[in-house]
A and B are shown apart, each in its own frame.
Chain A
Amino acid sequence: MKPFTYERATSPADAAAKAASIPGARFIAGGTNLLDLMKLQIETPAHLIDVNGLGLDKIEETPDGGLRIGALVRNTDLAADIRVRRHYGVLSRALVAGASGQLRNVATTAGNLLQRTRCPYFYDPNQPCNKRQPGSGCSAIGGISRQLGVVGTSEACIATHPSDMAVAMRVLDAMVETVRPGGATRAIPIADLHRLPGDTPHVETTLEQGELITAVTLPKPVGGVQLYHKVRDRASYAFALVSVAAIVQPGGTNGIAWGRVALGGVAPKPWRVEAAEAHMKQGAKAVTAGLLADARPTADNRFKIKLAERTLAAVLTEARG
């Protein structure tokens, strides 16, 4: 671990200002990902700004009937919140499908959104990786890629975003609230938070240097049957091969009035293609064809396409009741 300095921020704006002005500064909250990466010297911050004490750990109802989730709300608390369980079931289900009880007790809402990929080549500093060392190349392409992305990837990077929570938030049309270094705030649709890798896979979000996530807001409940189905090699404590977050309103033709779906484990960000949802009544095959139309799988992970389709089919069957 490289030596680093540490301070506790006094306010969100203070944190953002300091993070923008101090070279090599990083925010730290739960630390479940950052500390691991620091031990491997993949992240080498010169300065840590602790944002745990900023009062961002509350879940509040918004005037329009939605929910405002503080950036520092722990995954366990968010999953257990009665309002989340009652009205945003897909989020609660996604959260408890992730990590382990111990990690969820510490991991935060914003930290979960900003966690980095689990690509094994990213984790091995001896190996070329454009995300870790821009311009060095991608070892995963042509290497071991069974876990990695099939869509939204590029010639420079095929890593996936590992979050379960973010997939549910994507299907819920969450907004990400931030404060910028100058003190101004903004709200970013979650669809626009994560960037696709293109030829700059090291630039993972649209956040500015120093910009701090303060909350995630959920619109007022949309109802429907809300399911999260995570498929993995072992029953717990594993990243998704494919996950499906879905909100389905039963009824109408083919048992489905309308539906929304996002996929995890297949792309550099939670993967949702709204246009594909128009095919929901036609079933999983049609929806998946739209979702993964631009897929470019490797030989190792081609199975994810069929797996996504079958998992969605199972979810739709369950949702119809």
Chain B
Amino acid sequence: MKFDTPAATNPIDQLKVVGKATDRIDGPLKTTGTAPYAYERHDVVANQAYGFIVGSAIAKGRISRMDVAAAKAAPGVIAVVTAENAGTLGKGKWNTAVLLGGPEIQHYHQAVALVVAETFEQARDAASLIRVDYQAEAGAYDLAAARDGAAVAKGEPDSTVGDFTGAYAAAPVQLDATYTTPDQGHAMMEPHATIAAWNGDKLTLWTANQMINWGVKDVSQTLNIPVENIRLISPYIGGGFGGKLFVRSDALMAALGAKVAGRPVKVALTRPLMFNNTTHRPATIQRIRIGATREGRITAIGHESWSGDLPGGKPETAVQQTRLLYAGANRLTAMRLAVLDLPEGNAMRAPGEAPGLMALEIAMDEMAEKLGMDPIQFRILNDTQEDPEKPGRPYSQRQLAECLRQGAERFGWAKRNPKPASMREGRWLVGMGVAAGFRNNLVTKSAARVRLDGQGMVTVETDMTDIGTGTYTIIAQTAAETMGVPLDKVAVRLGDSSFPVSCGSGGQWGANNSTAGVYAACMKLRQAVARKLGFNAAEPQFADGHVSSGGHTMPLAQAAKDGELVAEDLIEYGDLDKKYQQSTFAGHFVEVVVDSATGEIRLRRMLAVCAAGRILNPKSARSQVIGAMTMGAGAALMEELAVDKRRGFFVNHDLAGYEVPVHADIPHQEVVFLDEVDPISSPMKAKGVGELGICGVGAAVANAVYNAIGVRVRDYPITLDKVLDHLPEMT
């Protein structure tokens, strides 16, 4: 199905199932511990052996000598895989560093060996017997030090509109401030894990991966085997946040281990290995300049960002939202990329916007204060209904102002005293902060297959993944709505490369595109059903498990009485995303309290008002947003991969050292979705919310801290040591 004109009224608009708050259909499996995750698939293939990965002890250099004899001789050991016996390996398109290092080492904890043994404990014990001698080389690990040598990244030219320099210089009110965000880890619950089994030259990987088709291609490219010989199966994923977009060393090493051992091998990354062995959100340094008239109209806006990555890597696109979010005739956005020898930087929930808004939305707060304006009023004054870099290119929907207005009303913004450090309750200083949330809606093709059987059961098959987001449920709702059956007449099968290729889970594009693909396949199945039942009229009705046309009604199941009906289709898009800017919007509101003695910052209330097209399942959408708000709170207050700049690694590489919020940190959270449908986005008229929820939260917290104590912290995370010197004197 080609989607190249705005959606008209269609079966989804019935909203009998879609749009209803629905418990996730995979919920019982999750709550009873019976949803099979990759490492637990003991049943899928017999004789599984255990693999344990050895990570490099240095960040950069070479292995000069490696002695695996003691490991090979250890009890229970079946095989040891290193670069020496792994054969010639390629590198996946989506990997920057190779997944198996040696002799060259590109980053700390890069895999250098896999030990395969009868038990996990034997493999781990033997792994400690591998002796590796390294020749360490000096590396670059400090972004601030590497900043001056940073260059324009390939495919990421500067973007200019008008005369930024002149307009900024002429602006009566100016802000020029620099912000930093640290490296952050995904820290999802389920570690990267894979079971690999070879059958002749055919490889099956039961794994945890957000993007099945990317994965197949990258395994093919790395192992130099045809894609037809590879099957990826990933029906349940215990969190990803972008950390499982790509094939990682668990999958490659399991495949290599299984080949050398001659039997299936399972590998999970240990928690201490995850932070340096895989990918992370790169640190940024961001300079923002805003010039405005005394009335508060932005005349010049500039945003420059510096980040680092391994050679061949990409920049963190922290300036993206600044190209689109606010009006202003003169604009400059630029990114510079430094070479760093830290582990690979890559996507983490809302790459670009999440750290970009952490900076931009503090800058907006600072600018509002300089202007003596309310920060909401300042944002609304500079709202735009068109792409500010391409005047005349409208937004498909843009309700940012409404998000901010409604949020202010609900949150009690009027009670905020704009004078910092003026609200106090006992030993607590109280502050309120606001920020805009913004994340683009990306459209990309997505396919599905739908089967109807003689019992009237509809089964959907697509290689789409559910990383804990609720995809199973919204796909079932879509199929139920389109085929006119109740939810319990739909079965959903996901995450298998033998199914049609979907959009996968990432960039908050999963919900809209994958359901649109299912809708397309269902519409094709409806045609097949109509033909089979002999309904020649243009549009038979599908409702309540029946099909009606011209006064005749027949059970849907009747169409499959002679055998299953199968339809497959995909959604693909024309140029509506070129003609219209498609984005999602939020107003984030936060109230914090700061201990006037210790500087401890605690959240008290959070509110997100979101405008993100049709909300397919308000229940799972809310879960996505509150989870993202929690992650945003972590980014604001505690999350930081601490870089040892001498040795080139993230020191706090476990969940004791890398702090993420716990229940006690997260207070009352409220989420409101504005009533919106976006016929430009897809037949579903939906957009994503999973990343919108984090975008802007960090700055809302920072702005609330400023309001509470009058200290402007521009370096995340906002920890007590950064405010301690500025707190009131103790008596």
Contacts and interface: CB of A to CB of B under 8 A. Distances in A.
Interface of A: 1-3, 39-41, 118, 120-121, 123-124, 126-127, 139, 142-144, 146, 229, 231-239, 241, 284, 303, 306-307, 309-311, 313-314, 317
Contact of A2 (B125, B600, B665, B731): B125
B719 A307 contact: no
Given A41-B128, A123-B654, A231-B600, A236 B664 contact: yes
B646 A142 contact: yes
Contacts of B646: 142-143
B724 A124 contact: no
A238 B727 CA distance: 23
B720 A143 contact: no
The 7 closest A-B pairs by CB, nearest first: A314-B597, A235-B664, A126-B57, A236-B664, A303-B721, A313-B730, A144-B642
23 contacts: A1-B124, A1-B125, A41-B125, A41-B128, A120-B651, A120-B652, A123-B654, A124-B653, A139-B644, A139-B647, A142-B646, A233-B717, A233-B719, A234-B661, A237-B664, A238-B659, A241-B721, A303-B720, A303-B724, A307-B720, A307-B724, A310-B724, A313-B731
Contact of B272 (A40, A284, A313): A40
A233 B125 contact: no
B362 to A, nearest CB: 20
Contacts of A236: 662-665
A146 B720 contact: no
B647 A127 contact: yes
**What is the interface residue range for chain B against chain A?**
35 or more
Nearest to A126: B57
Interface string B406-434: 00000000000000000000010000000
Given A144-B644, A310-B598, A310-B727, 11 more contacts: A1-B124, A123-B654, A123-B657, A124-B653, A139-B644, A139-B647, A146-B642, A229-B598, A231-B720, A236-B665, A314-B730
A307 B644 CA distance: 24
A76 to B, nearest CB: 17
Contact of B659 (A39, A118, A234, A284): A234
A233 B643 CA distance: 18
A238 B660 CA distance: 10
A79 B651 CA distance: 33
B588 interface: no
Nearest to A232: B600
Contact of A310 (B644, B656, B663, B730): B730
Given A1-B121, A231-B598, A311-B597, A306 B724 contact: yes
Contacts of B121: 1
Contact of B651 (A118, A121, A234, A307): A121
A37 B659 CA distance: 20
Given A237-B662, A241-B720, A313 B657 contact: no
B379 interface: no
Contacts of B731: 313, 317
A118 B643 CA distance: 17
B637 interface: yes
Contacts of A118: 656-657
A233 B659 contact: yes
Contacts of A39: 124
A142 B128 CA distance: 27
Contact of A146 (B128, B597, B656, B721): B721
B643 to A, nearest CB: 8
Contact of B657 (A120, A143, A231, A284): A120
Contacts of B125: 1-3, 41
Contact of A314 (B427, B656, B725): B427
Contacts of B597: 310-311, 313-314
A229 B721 CA distance: 17
Interface in B16-46: none
A234 B665 CA distance: 6
B398 interface: no
A229 B595 CA distance: 12
A310 B721 CA distance: 12
B272 A124 contact: yes
Interface in B663-683: 663-665
Contacts of A303: 720-721, 724
B638 interface: yes
Residue of A3, A127, A310 with most chain B CB atoms under a 10 A cut-off: A310
B331 interface: no
A90 B659 CA distance: 26
B248 interface: no
Contact of A233 (B638, B651, B724, B725): B638
A100 to B, nearest CB: 8
B610 to A, nearest CB: 26
Interface in B618-640: 637-638
A236 B666 CA distance: 11
Nearest to A314: B597
Contacts of B665: 234-236
B365 to A, nearest CB: 23
Nearest to A318: B427
A234 B662 contact: yes
Nearest to A309: B730
A33 B650 CA distance: 22
A241 to B, nearest CB: 7
B602 interface: yes
Contacts of A310: 597-598, 724, 727, 730
Contacts of B637: 233-234
B528 to A, nearest CB: 54
Contacts of A314: 427, 595, 597-598, 730
Nearest to B655: A237
B719 A123 contact: no
A123 B727 contact: no
Q: Which of A146, A234, A313, A314 has the most CB of B within 10 A?
A: A234
Contacts of A3: 75, 125
A234 B727 contact: no
A98 B332 CA distance: 50
